[in-house]
Amino acid sequence: MELYFHWFDLFGIAVFAVTGTLAAWRNQMDGFAVIVLASVTAIGGGTLRDLLLGVPVIWINDNSYFYAIFIAAVGTILLLRNRLTVPHNTLQIADAFGLAVFVITGTQKSLDHGTSVMVAILLGTMSGVCGGMIRDVLCREIPMVFRGELYAITCILAGVLYTSLLALGVEQLQAMVIAMFSLLLFRTASIKWK
């Protein structure tokens, strides 16, 4: 696995930790409960992906993920405590960032372990969707993925785009960035003009 792969994953984990923290805040949870929810949201998708692939879970021998979660969660709380105005759709937009990263890295990691393209896209989508799903179930909200059909379709299409780019011979890092930005753009647009 390449180095940038690790940084993408760290970034995705940090933004999902932010969404977990925001969700916990909205539900008036406190202190460490926030960090628990942030962690579960952040590592839920990638953990499920690794378990299903039968490879060691990503964070079992790497503490950096927890530092990322901790910094993201504490930073978010500090901002919220200082009553920084939180734009209306912050949770959904942060969720879109995490989604973009996890869907694509998840797809690539599956391909690396020899799955078919179809299973890779599925595992990519699960990596992106499941952290947020656990977050919403724990907060007893209808999971975001069920609130409109564009959410899941966007993930699948981004996976299709990514694997198509690879098939067309585009270099891996380039293909990743293009697919992530497409997913992000599409999600942000569909949040804005819903």
116 binds a second copy (CB under 8 A): yes
167 binds a second copy (CB under 8 A): no
Q: Give the CA radius of gyration of the chain.
A: 16
29 binds a second copy (CB under 8 A): yes
Neighbouring CB atoms inside 10 A of 30's CB total 9
Size of the site for a second copy (CB under 8 A): 44
Positive/negative CA dihedral, 2, 186, 44, 7: positive
- Rounded CA gap, 157 and 121, in Å? 9
- For residue 77, the minimal CB distance to a second copy (Å) is 12
Of 2, 7, 26, 56, the residue at the interface with a second copy (CB under 8 A) is 56
Tell me the H-state helices in 82-171: 90-112, 117-138, 150-167
Nearer CB in complex with a second copy: 27/170: 27
Query: Up-side HSE of residue 57: CA atoms within 13 Å toward CB?
Result: 13
**Where along the sequence are the contacts to a second copy (CB under 8 A)?**
24, 27, 29-33, 35-37, 39, 47, 51-54, 56-57, 59-61, 63, 66, 115-116, 118-119, 122, 129, 133, 137-138, 140, 142-143, 145-149, 151-153, 156
